[in-house]
Structure 1
Amino acid sequence: MYLRAVHAEADVAKLHQFIRANPLGIFTTAIESRSFPFLQSSHVPWVLDTEQPKADSTHLGVLRGHIARANPQAKVLIEHLKSQTNSDTDQPVQTLSRDIMVLFNGPAHHYVTPKFYTETKPATGKVVPTWNYSAVQVYGRATIYHDTKHPATGSFLDKQIRDLSLQSEKGIMGYEEKPWQVDDAPSSYIEILKKAIIGVQIEIMDLGGKWKMSQEMGVGDQKGVVEGFRALGSEVGDEIARTVEERGKVGVKS
């Protein structure tokens, strides 16, 4: 992701907050395979763990998720792991040898018409359309839990699906006092479903954020962008207007 300085966000706490607010990330791998395409991507909802290990001030967090075993990407991952078999233990090496990427997108993005640039357009005409959006990109190493006979797989998936359900249920209005829980379903049914998924745990090695929200424009044009998006009368427009104000600090009042 191109991180132009004026759009970049490096504050880890803010990046973590963005991921938690937008947990559906695009999980991307690049792995050679005779049976499947080299590049694979899947939309995966993630749980972010940020508890910092003692004596590790550089810890960036861990993502936990799962994907369907029938997903071609899961098949590529398992195929790759089997090719990394440790001959001494005859057990699959769980951590991928290749880096992975997860891209998280913000909920509000929109085309920006040059007509919003109320300062530069009438003065010089030297403006062109663009697109405003926000995103956070994660790079890391993934450990894959796919061996149904290994106790670690069952433990990981059990914790993963419970934590993800709890995290997601908090956002369902009207059900805060009694959210749905995994234990509400028959345990035998859950065990069958667990065999149909594999777990993915990502140690974050690097992450960066991009809020492309008209920061490169002058204050007059930023005000025009805010007013233009507010005039759309939509939730997306209001959210972008608010973010342009926040990021550009144009000080336009509602």
Structure 2
Amino acid sequence: MYIPAHHKEDRVDVLHAAIRSAGPATLVSMTADGLFASHAPLMLDPDPAPYGTLIGHLARANPHVRIANPSVQTLVIFHGPDGYITPSYYAAKQEHGKVVPTWNYVAIHAYGTLEVFDDPARLLEVVTRLTVNHEAPRTEPWAVSDAPGDFIQGMLRGIVGIALPITRLEGKVKMSQNRPAADQAGVVDGLRRDGQDDLADAVLQAVAPVS
């Protein structure tokens, strides 16, 4: 991934936090017929250090794990906050007008060799942990144990587990770091006026001095 120096994020704790807050990941593997992609929610275990392991599952009918070339690493892509940045946010628009639109975004690329497993006990642990993670914010969270055991066992037969120990981790945080302070402030104010508080917070965090 192309990462200019002012957009590079290589702090592992920051990248891990972004992965844990991201939505479904995109897995891209090389096959004999070219690239093949799948989309799935993944969770991150911190071991082995320093980058950890991504864990999840795919439908057993998905050919991804059968056709992926094991000699070529799989790329897993996570996306963070993103949004369009209008030139109207910039103080520079009023000063000289030499401004153009852009897109702010966070992207994380993780690389590693894809491992596959179908042990029922391990699969049950994976789907239980994923469920706990995503149900946690709900007032009355649903649990895997709420469904009949034989039904869950049947569902487990329809999936395969995947694990990807991360060997390389790249982060790109493009959040107006290359703009003057007045333009950065204008971006934050403009995004808040437009109801994009999450993106405004991401800009603030990116341009704040590192203590």
TM-score above 0.5 = yes
1:108-141 per-residue CA deviation (whole Å, 9 max, x = no partner) reads 32111111111x2233322111001112111111
Larger Rg: 1
2:137 pairs with 155, 159, 171, which one?
A: 171
Counterpart of 2:203 in structure 1 is 244
Counterpart of 1:41 in structure 2 is 37
Which amino acid counterpart does residue 101 of structure 1 have in structure 2?
A: L
Whether 2:32 is the aligned partner of 1:70: answer no
Whether 2:146 is the aligned partner of 1:184: answer yes
TM-aligned CA deviation for residue 156 of structure 1: 2.4
Unpaired stretches in structure 2, ≥5 consecutive residues? none
CA contact (8 A) 1:23 1:47 kept: no
Superposed CA RMSD? 1.8
Counterpart of 1:24 in structure 2 is 24
Task: Specify whether residues 141 and 189 from structure 1 end up closer, same or farther in structure 2 by C-alpha distance, changes over 3 A only.
Answer: same
1:201 pairs with 148, 160, 163, which one?
A: 163
Counterpart of 2:113 in structure 1 is 141
Which amino acid counterpart does residue 157 of structure 2 have in structure 1?
A: K
1:65-89 per-residue CA deviation (whole Å, 9 max, x = no partner) reads 1011222xxx2422458xxxxxxxx
CA contact (8 A) 1:111 1:130 kept: yes
What is the total number of aligned residue pairs between the two structures? Answer: 209
Distance in 2 (CA, whole Å) between partners of 1:134 and 1:193 is 34
Which amino acid counterpart does residue 210 of structure 1 have in structure 2?
A: K
Which has the higher mean CA deviation after the structures are superposed, 238-247 or 216-225? Answer: 238-247
Which amino acid counterpart does residue 60 of structure 1 have in structure 2?
A: Y
Aligned identity (percent) is: 36
1:114 pairs with 87, 90, 99, which one?
A: 87
Distance in 1 (CA, whole Å) between partners of 2:203 and 2:184 is 7
CA contact (8 A) 1:25 1:103 kept: yes
CA contact (8 A) 1:64 1:160 kept: yes
Counterpart of 1:99 in structure 2 is 73
Say which SS state the counterpart of residue 98 (structure 2) adopts: coil
Written as runs of structure 1 = structure 2, the 5 A alignment for 1:49-68 is 49-52=45-48, 58-68=49-59
TM-aligned CA deviation for residue 219 of structure 1: 0.5
2:122 pairs with 156, 159, 178, which one?
A: 156
1:30-50 per-residue CA deviation (whole Å, 9 max, x = no partner) reads 2114xxxx2222221111110
Counterpart of 1:223 in structure 2 is 185
CA contact (8 A) 1:111 1:132 kept: yes
Distance in 2 (CA, whole Å) between partners of 1:160 and 1:243 is 30
1:145-195 per-residue CA deviation (whole Å, 9 max, x = no partner) reads 25xxxxxx22321221111111111122x12xxx32222211211111111
Unpaired stretches in structure 1, ≥5 consecutive residues? 53-57, 82-95, 147-152
Distance in 1 (CA, whole Å) between partners of 2:185 and 2:23 is 31
Task: Specify whether residues 4 and 79 from structure 1 end up closer, same or farther in structure 2 by C-alpha distance, changes over 3 A only.
Answer: closer
Task: Specify whether residues 225 and 80 from structure 1 end up closer, same or farther in structure 2 by C-alpha distance, changes over 3 A only.
Answer: closer
Q: TM-score, normalised by structure 2?
A: 0.91
Say which SS state the counterpart of residue 109 (structure 1) adopts: strand
Say which SS state the counterpart of residue 6 (structure 1) adopts: helix
Which amino acid counterpart does residue 203 of structure 2 have in structure 1?
A: V
